[in-house]
Amino acid sequence: MAIETLVLGAGQDIGKSCVVVTINGKRIMFDCGIDTRFFDSPTHRYPDFTLISPNRDFNSALSCIIITHFHLDHIGALAYFTEVCGYNGPIYMTYPTKALAPMMLEDNRKVMVDRLGEEELFSADQIAECMKKVIAVNLRQTIQVDEDLQIRAYYAGHVIGAAMFYAKVGDAEMVYTGDYNMTPDRHLGAAQIDRLRLDLLITESTYATTIRDSRYAREREFLKAVHKCVSSGGKVLIPTYALGRAQELCILLEDYWERMKLKVPIYFSAGLTIQANVYHKMLISWTSQKIKDRFSKHNAFDFKNVKKFERSMIDAPGPCVLFATPEKISSGFSLEVFKHWAVSENNLVSLPGYFVGETMGHKLTSNKQAKDDADTKIDIRCQVHQLAFSPHTDSKGIMDLVNFLSPKHVILVHGEKHKMATLKDKIHSELGIQCYDPANNETIYIPSTHYVNAETSDTFVRSCLKPNFTFQKCSSVDICNSTTIDKSLMPELQVEDERVAEGVLVVDKGKKAKVLHQDELLLMLGETKQDS
Amino acid sequence: MAEQQDDTSEQPLSLRTLCTMRSFLLHPSTSKRTVSSIVETLTRTPTHHTLKLLSDAAAHRPDLGPSAVVLPADSSPHLTVEVLASSLTDLHLDDARFASLCFGDSVAARVWMLRNAGSKFEVRPGLLLAVLLGFTKDPYPYVRAAALEGLAGFCERGGESKDVELVEACYRRAVQLLRDMDPCARLSAVRVVASWGLMLASSNSDMKTYWSNDVFAKLCSMARDMNMKVRVEAFDGLKKLEIVSEDLLLQSLSKRVSGHGKQKQALGQSTSEQFVILATSVAGAIVHGLEDEFFEVRKSVCKSLRTLTRLSAEFAREALDSLMDVLNDGSTVVRLQALETMHHMAISGRLKLHEKNLHMFFGALVDDNWDIRHTDRKILKVVKLNNLALFKSSIDRLLGNLDSYPQDEADVFCTFSHLGRNHKKFVSLIIKDTFEEIEAALEGNVEFNSARIAALLILSISAPLLNADVGRIPAVMFSYAVTFLGRIYNAFSDIMDRDSLLACLCEKSRSTEYSATNIDLVEGEQQFPLLECDAPNFASNEVINSKIDSHITREPKEVANYQIEQQRSEYDEVIKFTNYILAKPHDMWQRIQSGHANEVLRSLRCLKELTTMKFDSLGSGGADALAFTLLYLRVIELLSEVWEHLLPAKRLCTLGIGKLEFKLGKLERRVKELISRFTGFSAQDELNVLELMLLTYALRMCKDEIIGMNHTIKRLSTLYLRVESILKESSALPSNFIVELGKVLSGTSINGASCNLLQFDASLEFFSLKQFLFHGQIKHVKAELNISNNDLEHPLPFVSGLPVGVPCEIILHNISSESRLWLRMALDDGFIHHLFLDLDRFEGSEEVTKFTFVAPFYRTAEAICLTLKICIGLECLFENVSPVQRFGGPKRELALLCKEKQVFLYKVNKD
């Protein structure tokens, strides 16, 4: 028996996560994303689904689809796959993902159709149609997809509703992590999973070589910068993505505001962000422990100091903090505000995350000398603070998870090629676990566990119930390696329980395998000897 | 009883008989003889049912003693263990029996034996350890966990094994089990690694560092376990370490594995080699712990940093940066713990504040939580500041604190006084500016902020106050200070009281040796090394002590409650008043004894009214004292009422037995309340109160109360033992009444047959009422319970059969963290449900804790509406009478801390 892993996307790459795993005859597609960097090329944008089934009969080829979270590089191609390619089977995702997915898909569709002027591949109604096929699951709820296939979701942090998925067919077990975070942030908890006997772990590796500092240090710098700015009467602009980051930073600020008794107003710009707050408020059980604990007293997403921002307030005097979309300051409201505020050295722009491409965000972070922007004709004098917050785990987190789960094989996806190779070697050398980093459209075969059912004799069962341990003296290996403590000559006391070791597997011709107690076997052998 | 009815197998005793026996056994008034004959019958026929009955019997009748329960050798281990579990007090189980029970095939029995071996019954250590170690290999996770628990318990009880090989084997086995599949086994393994690892380390002084490092690394490797409890346990384990290599400690603060170990050859080759092996598992453990999702973990890390920072100065310096960042934590408990740890570091001289820390450290002074600000100031009181700039900014931030939180004044002043005392040289460096500011303010040229001036005065005078050498402080400063005396004397309350301070200030201000013009400051003396600067210099107190007479009453330690200090005068008045009232009953006792009860009762009622009036007119200052006084008066009132009817002349008339019984019950309840609802009694106070309780029980005995006699005697003796132990500790002399009662009790056997009621009667003659002296320590334990938006018109909805959550807003006053609180929910039909309130889960101080708790109520019956009576109770020292509450409820009697609240519920349909 083997587990076959076909990587359709995010192999040695970030973008369009899509992995098809075949275990004991069941085929599961984990994630179905698009590559947002290739908006102009549909062939690059979607995973190559024909590799699953050359005759495009996806319904018989796949047992189910599992979506880990609502980011476009994990869910973007779902509507295309169901509505255009015609997949009709079950789709599993967590409740929050199901709630937020339509919004994301619709946004994406609009961008493609309206902005890029592309031909419409599917309509808004078709997205709704696609969502009807989705079965929502809860954390740690074991779902029997069919007679043999079991799946279970575990908390993954990262974004609200993100989950790692465990799948089991027969005796073969595996986990697909999706994106996860091993350290909690202000609104989400850390990934949480049981210790399982896994044959395969497929993990993301966005930060395959980075080790991040303490979260506290990042928060402190951010708060210090913001506090300094507002206390000297400046305005703070935080261009941010609507879901997740805005809430996290806002909780951080709220908490600080409460403790320091600050009265400076905090604003949220557009309706989308307010709506996202509503979602977070409802999905409280998917947030971090602290927010859950305090929920009975106060919903952390009920921001006391947050008000809605009106366009007329842009030039109003006095300090304030504003969250505005989009995060790249490429267009829209954040750019509009930026144009007004960037001219004063009192003000601060706080940029969460990193940017690629020709956007204002990129210019600000990459080259701080370029204070005069030629395209937009803005005299940029404001302070710039860059936040190093990321919802992905760092390389230490990946190592810790792999170490905790100790699977037999690891496959790395969702990362940069050379960094993944480094991590692959590290996992192999430090943890002694076989590790792979396949490229897109590559297939990996790994052996899987298969248990043989055997009957047991009563004597053996009885002996298993009775504890039967012995103490032995033998030298241990790890002590021998040490040169300084020469204890290799001194035997070490160890305890052994002989119960199971006393069983003997007997396979008679044409009969089912059977486990006998060793005494029984001797008896039986004695009998056969007499017979002959 | 259900378990007996569903059985149909043949047995010598019919189910009916067994049922009857059970009722007999459970009924409290069944005579001892009947019980023992039933037990005898039962033990003769050991079956499943009889054993079950025996275990019930043992549970309900502790007086039965384990000797009555003979354990048939062939009974199933599971039941035998159950019998043991409920009857154990001082059971002797021989080693063979122990082993056979462990090796039997009942897993539950095995778990129980492993868990309780050594604690509830003695087993030869050699055998015990072998069995425990052996069972760490058991295929059942719970057996493994229990075996590990047993090992950890062995260490906790101070057990020690001389067999190093065995210790190492246990430790290694536990290390293996750190990677167990089951979280509960991992949890126990962590505990064993911590305790046995330390035992291993201490067994060989040469290897101590090696093993300690190993333990440290193993515990650190659990910092990323997925189970919160395992993580907490791992960090708790770090607290016990006595020695860890510095490079490993530093590694725990950095997620990147560093090459430290290789460079530090000085530490010896062995350490660096070990470092290479262990570094990966240690890397970043503390940092991970500090940014953990669960506050329990973060708190535990902060707590262990307290011990770890003591191990290495370098580590303390690095860890401080991480600790400072914790001050931004969302949870108050964690922030507070971080500050407490810093306080400890400051005391042990490990706290070195740097410029980069200041933003965070002083940020805590503006925190809106009083405890946080207080603890931050507590650190400032003991910390040594390295340079003048730090000192100056501390002063600025403290003054800022004073502006934004005027209610902190007393504590801020106190901090200033300590700051001045600890940094004499810095004070003298800034004295010129300070003096000018104060001078200008007091001359009236500038509009001044009196709190600020007072603070600066305290800072300036605090150091010279302790020293004969006044330094460069102008004498006129002391005169200014006199004018602020009322406001500032609290700042010095740890070294002298108001009068002594005045005397001291007057004397200093008379010294003409130094005047304002004498200030000649060396400007530019910025970086003043703190070498000669003295830490809190209590040695010099003696100078003052000798000068000022014996007025100094307080210990040179922090006075705990600043609010009380602030309201001193009002409070003093209350104390005076209280003591005046409390002295009265003592004087009245003679009158009561001579039969003038009515007259006494009248004056008692007057006193009560007086107290109530005072109570209403006052703020929170003396509420505790007055509450106590009121209750005490009520007790005396009841006592005199009861006493009157027990006087020989009146014994048979006036009150019917029922009425007297009622009064006695009331008296008992009130006295219990006196004991349970107040804390902070001195030994003498406690004796007085306990004596009242003894008296109440003795009164009960005299009032020929046959039914509950055994009970009363038992309680009397328990209580008496307590009194005796207090007497022993405090070396106070017992009153005549206690002595007499002791004699009576020693002559009375438990079953009461030989008890002579008249003796109790006689002992009463010796009772006399003691005078209570109130000295401010007594606190009223109380609770406020509120269920908002709930009344008859606005009931809470429920679905019958499903639990309903009742949102309770609770405020607790003066409840120590050790006390066990219960939420009692009662239905009209007599159904009572108890819910345990885990105080650790709520944030707050001992004085006041405020939180909302959603209490689940499960018994939502098929009714249109329900009325639930909720109230909060505190487990007190009296044992429970009714056995019903054994199941999950409180083990002892509850003292109710608030009035019962009615909660109205109505049913909604499921659709």
Domains identified in chain A and CATH numbers: 2-211+391-447 (3.60.15.10), 215-387 (3.40.50.10890), 455-531 (no CATH)
pLDDT for res B555 = 37
Residue B765 per-residue DSSP state: T
pLDDT for res B447 = 59
Do A116 and A79 meet the contact criterion of CB atoms below 8 Å apart?
A: no
Among the partner residues A183, A223, A497, nearest to B138 by beta-carbon distance = A497
Nearest Cα to Cα of residue B192 among B140, B230, B242? B230
Residues in chain A closer than 8 A to B140 (CB atoms): none
Q: Do A497 and B139 touch (CB under 8 A)?
A: yes
pLDDT above 80 for B416: yes
Element at B141 (helix H, strand E): helix B141-156
pLDDT for res B538 = 36
Would you tell me how many other CB atoms lie within 10 Å of the CB of residue A53? 16
pLDDT for res B781 = 85
Residue B839 per-residue DSSP state: G
Percent of chain B clearing pLDDT 90 (strictly above): 16
Token pair in block for residue B575:
């104390």
Q: Which CATH number does B781-907 carry?
A: 2.60.40.10
Residue B388 per-residue DSSP state: H
Question: pLDDT for B536-545, tens place per residue?
Answer: 333 333 333 3
Residues in chain B closer than 8 A to A465 (CB atoms): 105
Which whole number is the average pLDDT over B603-613? 74
Residue B349 Rama label (left phi>0; alpha psi -120 to 50; beta): left
pLDDT for res B821 = 85
Residue predicted with more confidence, B398 or B205: B398
Least confident of B87-96, B223-232, B383-392, B394-403: B87-96
Among the partner residues A214, A469, A493, nearest to B287 by beta-carbon distance = A214
What is the identity of the amino acid at A460? F
Residue B195: phi, psi to the nearest 5? -75, -45
Give the chain B residue nearest A406 (alpha carbons). Answer: B179
C-alpha–C-alpha distance, residues A156 and A140, integer Å:
12
ipTM entry: 0.86
Report the mean per-residue pLDDT for chain B.
77
Q: Do B291 and A260 touch (CB under 8 A)?
A: no
Would you tell me how many other CB atoms lie within 10 Å of the CB of residue B358? 16
Percent of chain A clearing pLDDT 90 (strictly above): 36
pLDDT for res B654 = 47
pLDDT for res B829 = 78
Residue A40: phi, psi to the nearest 5? -90, -5
On the CB side of A214, how many CA atoms lie within 13 Å of its CA?
26
Nearest Cα to Cα of residue B544 among B620, B462, B630? B462
Residues in chain B closer than 8 A to A211 (CB atoms): 255-256
C-alpha–C-alpha distance, residues B810 and B873, integer Å:
12
Q: Do B328 and A219 touch (CB under 8 A)?
A: yes
CA A159 to chain centre: 8
pLDDT above 60 for B522: no
pLDDT for res B524 = 37
Least confident of A270-284, B54-68, B528-542, B818-832: B528-542
Do A343 and A376 meet the contact criterion of CB atoms below 8 Å apart?
A: no
**What is the pTM (predicted TM-score) of this model?**
0.67
pLDDT above 70 for B500: yes
> Could you tell me the residue ranges of all domains in chain B?
390-563, 569-764, 781-907
pLDDT for res B613 = 67
- For residue B809, the SS3 value is strand
Percent of chain B clearing pLDDT 70 (strictly above): 78
- Please name the residues in contact with B220: beta carbons below 8 A apart, sequence gap of 6 or more: B234, B238, B252, B281, B282, B285, B286
pLDDT above 50 for B549: no
pLDDT above 90 for B833: no
Residue B448 per-residue DSSP state: -
Q: Do A485 and B210 touch (CB under 8 A)?
A: yes
Do B400 and B376 meet the contact criterion of CB atoms below 8 Å apart?
A: no
Nearest Cα to Cα of residue A353 among A248, A216, A229, A220? A248
Residue B272: phi, psi to the nearest 5? -70, -35
pLDDT for res B87 = 54
Nearest Cα to Cα of residue A302 among A258, A259, A239? A258
C-alpha–C-alpha distance, residues B645 and B640, integer Å:
9
B226, B302, B368: best to mutate for the A interface, most A CBs within 10 A: B226
Residue keyed to tokens 């021989």: B94
A139, A155, A195: best to mutate for the B interface, most B CBs within 10 A: A195
Question: pLDDT for B324-379, tens place per residue?
Answer: 989 988 888 999 999 999 999 998 888 888 888 888 899 889 888 889 999 999 99
pLDDT above 80 for B892: no
Question: pLDDT for B70-113, tens place per residue?
Answer: 455 555 555 566 566 555 444 556 777 778 778 876 777 788 77
Helix axes B709-730, B683-702, angle to 10 degrees: 160
Among the partner residues B226, B290, B807, nearest to A404 by beta-carbon distance = B226
C-alpha–C-alpha distance, residues B853 and A348, integer Å:
42
Residues in chain A closer than 8 A to B173 (CB atoms): 494-495
- Our CA-based measurement puts residue A290 at a distance from the nearest CA of chain B, in whole angstroms, of 7
Question: pLDDT for B242-261, tens place per residue?
Answer: 899 998 999 999 988 876 54
Do B122 and B90 meet the contact criterion of CB atoms below 8 Å apart?
A: no
DSSP letter string, A73-134? HHHTTHHIIIIIS---S-EEEEHHHHHHHHHHHHHHHHIIIIIT-PPPSS-HHHHHHHHHTE
Q: Do B269 and A484 touch (CB under 8 A)?
A: yes
Residue B421 per-residue DSSP state: H
| HEC-encoded secondary structure of B327-361 | CCCCCHHHHHHHHHHHHHHHHCCCCCCCHHHHHHH
pLDDT above 60 for B496: yes
Active-site residues of A, by number, are: 204
CA dihedral angle for residue A52, residue A53, residue A56, residue A59, rounded to 10 degrees? -80
Quick one: A175 exposed, middle or buried, by C-beta within 10 A (0-12, 13-18, 19+)?
A: buried
C-alpha–C-alpha distance, residues B144 and B141, integer Å:
5
Q: Do A492 and B139 touch (CB under 8 A)?
A: no
CA dihedral angle for residue B524, residue B529, residue B532, residue B538, rounded to 10 degrees? 100
Strands A134-137 and A91-94: parallel
Residue predicted with more confidence, B780 or A423: A423
Strands A163-169 and A266-268: unpaired
CA A362 to chain centre: 26
Which whole number is the average pLDDT over B858-878? 81
Mean pLDDT by 10 residues, chain A (532 residues): 90 90 94 81 83 91 94 91 92 93 86 74 88 94 93 93 94 94 90 93 92 84 90 89 79 87 84 68 83 80 82 86 79 82 88 60 59 60 82 91 94 93 94 94 89 78 73 54 40 69 74 77 74 58
pLDDT for res B453 = 86
Query: Out of 1.10.3470, 1.10.3430, 1.10.3210, 1.10.3450, which CATH number does the structure's domain B569-764 have?
Result: 1.10.3450
pLDDT above 70 for B734: yes
pLDDT for res A509 = 72
Strands A235-239 and A320-324: parallel
Question: pLDDT for A309-346, tens place per residue?
Answer: 888 888 888 899 988 877 777 777 888 888 888 888 88
Question: pLDDT for B273-307, tens place per residue?
Answer: 788 888 889 999 999 999 899 999 999 999 999 99
- Our CA-based measurement puts residue A237 at a distance from the nearest CA of chain B, in whole angstroms, of 22
In A325-420, the DSSP E strands lie at 348-352, 372-373, 378-379, 383-387, 409-413
C-alpha–C-alpha distance, residues B771 and B636, integer Å:
12
Token pair in block for residue B106:
């009942």
- Please name the residues in contact with A465: beta carbons below 8 A apart, sequence gap of 6 or more: B105
Q: How confident is the model at residue B618 (pLDDT cuts 50, 70, 90)?
A: low
- Our CA-based measurement puts residue B823 at a distance from the nearest CA of chain A, in whole angstroms, of 18
Rg (CA), chain B: 34
**What distance, in Å, lies between the first and last C-alpha atoms of chain A?**
40
pLDDT above 70 for B221: yes
Token pair in block for residue B656:
């019917």
pLDDT for res B545 = 37
C-alpha–C-alpha distance, residues A88 and A98, integer Å:
17
Q: Do B328 and A465 touch (CB under 8 A)?
A: no
C-alpha–C-alpha distance, residues A95 and A107, integer Å:
19
